[in-house]
Amino acid sequence: MTAAPAPGGHQGPLSAAERADYERLRRAAGMRHRRLRYAVTSVLLVLTFVLAPLGVVATWVDSQISDTGRYVQTVAPLAKDPAVQSAVTNRVTNKVVSYIDTAKLTAALERALRKTGAPPVVVDRSGLLAGALKSGATSAVRAVVNKVVTSDQFADVWNIANRRAHAAMVNVLTGKGGSAVEAKGNTISLDIGTVIKQVQTKLVDEGFKNADKIPDIDKTIVLVKTDKLNKAQNLMRLLNIVGVWLPVLVVVLAALAVWSGPSHRVAMMSAGGGVGVMMALFLVALAFARGKYLDSVGPKVQSPDAAAAVYDDLVRFLQQSTRTVLVIAVIVLVAGYLYGPGRGARRIRSVAVRGTDAAGRGLARAGLRTGGAGGWLHRHRGWTTGIVIGAGALALVLWNFPTPGAVALVLGIVVLVLVVLGILAAARSAPAPPGSAPRRTGHGG
């Protein structure tokens, strides 16, 4: 007797051979689907890794350009930096002294000595005083200039000038001029005309009556000089266009990679580890670029100490942001490991649960029971954990330029809240007395 055809024309139960074919086809389809998910996840992760450093740079460029306070905060320390003060002092002193005609002074001295009847040997050797006169004038002018440059007024003028010239950083990145800081060719220069005016006034007050007659000298001091400036400007223009959207894109790509991965935990750990490696490499690249830049700046252009101070000041927020992302990536990697099935992870989770349970039972024995609220926390522990972690992530997103210290603070608060919630959940009822048998319900046999 044969099996009646099933409704719709399908046959009855599959034979052993048919079921084997079916299982083989299902495994093949599952394998293709799994390979496709691996391929998509790999592409998304690679894009995340490549764009992560550019996202940090884009955020740095956008913040320095659009936020006046942030820009002033960036350049303000340069006014107090000894190396920069020394460079400005040397620049202004050399320019002012170059317009002091020591030859004319020694000639006048020679004529005066001859009129007074000085011995010929004295008159003939009066020209040897030219060097001493120039050295003395240089020392006197340097002392006056140093007073101006190291004064609080100079720092105030520096900050006010940079605040008023907020478009300066835009000009540097786009190659335009017309502000206190401008880029021409391969050089970024700072206009110090206000400082020179103050020096001329101070020189007149100190007794140099002709200081105000000094011609209109070069009023710029070189901050940065590099043959890669044009390339850097082109890159910065591109980053300025993408602005804050590039970091958002990096986060979205990482989230999609975790979602599409066959194992969400492994994909999350891969994203954290890869981004962490890229941030570490980027910090190394910044250090390497610093060394290359200092090697390329000649002493005639800028003193090495001043060049180092300017470079370090301009990239300090970039380095800080990179370290912050590195710390977050490490936290994601460690969290993915602790969530996994590894022996070490299971042991850490077990110790944490035993600790919170013991603390909760202690509270319950002391009469501080949480009752229904504790029971709700116990039943919804997964949801509450996710909400607390999400709140911590949101706090970092809303934080204005978080530092590694801020990340550590938020992490500490998140862990503390999770521990407290675990203790409250464990304190929902009084623990059973030691050795007591659990109450049995129903009729005994």
DSSP 300: T
Lowest mean pLDDT among 148-162, 172-186, 265-279, 283-297: 172-186
pLDDT over 90 at 409, yes or no: yes
Cα–Cα distances in Å, from 181 out to 2, 176, 190, 218? 93, 10, 5, 14
pLDDT of residue 190: 61
d(CA 270, CA 178): 47
Q: What is the pLDDT of residues 95-111, one digit of tens each?
A: 777 666 566 656 665 56
d(CA 58, CA 43): 22
Quote the pTM value. Answer: 0.68
Question: 50: pLDDT confidence band, cut at 50, 70 and 90?
Answer: very high
277 membership: H or E segment, kind and range: helix 264-296
Question: 443: pLDDT confidence band, cut at 50, 70 and 90?
Answer: very low
Lowest mean pLDDT among 27-36, 184-193, 284-293: 184-193
Side-by-side strand order, sheet with 187-191: 181-184, 187-191, 220-225
Q: What is the pLDDT of residues 104-132, one digit of tens each?
A: 656 665 565 555 665 565 555 555 555 66
- At residue 12, φ and ψ (nearest 5 deg) are -75, -150
3-state percent breakdown (helix, strand, coil) of the chain, nearest 5: 75, 5, 20
Question: 445: pLDDT confidence band, cut at 50, 70 and 90?
Answer: very low
Alpha-carbon torsion 196, 197, 198, 200, what sign?
positive
The structure tokens listed for 371 are 């009752």
pLDDT of residue 313: 77
DSSP 354-400: HHHHHHHHHHHHTT---HHHHHHHHHTHHHHHHHHHHHHHHHHHHSS
d(CA 269, CA 277): 12
Question: 441: pLDDT confidence band, cut at 50, 70 and 90?
Answer: very low
Inter-residue contact 324 to 332 (CB < 8 Å): no
pLDDT higher for 268 or 135?
Answer: 268
Using DSSP's 3-state secondary structure scheme, residue 191 falls into strand
Q: What is the pLDDT of residues 52-76, one digit of tens each?
A: 998 888 888 777 655 667 777 777 7
pLDDT higher for 434 or 136?
Answer: 136
Tokens 């399908």, located at residue: 10
pLDDT over 80 at 266, yes or no: yes
pLDDT of residue 209: 56
Q: What is the pLDDT of residues 143-201, one digit of tens each?
A: 877 887 787 777 777 677 666 555 555 555 555 544 455 555 555 566 666 666 666 67
Q: Average pLDDT of 279-304?
A: 80
Lowest mean pLDDT among 140-154, 219-233, 288-302, 346-360: 219-233
DSSP 186: T
Q: Which of 337, 257, 314 is nearest to 52 (CA)?
A: 257
Q: Average pLDDT of 293-302?
A: 67
pLDDT over 70 at 384, yes or no: yes
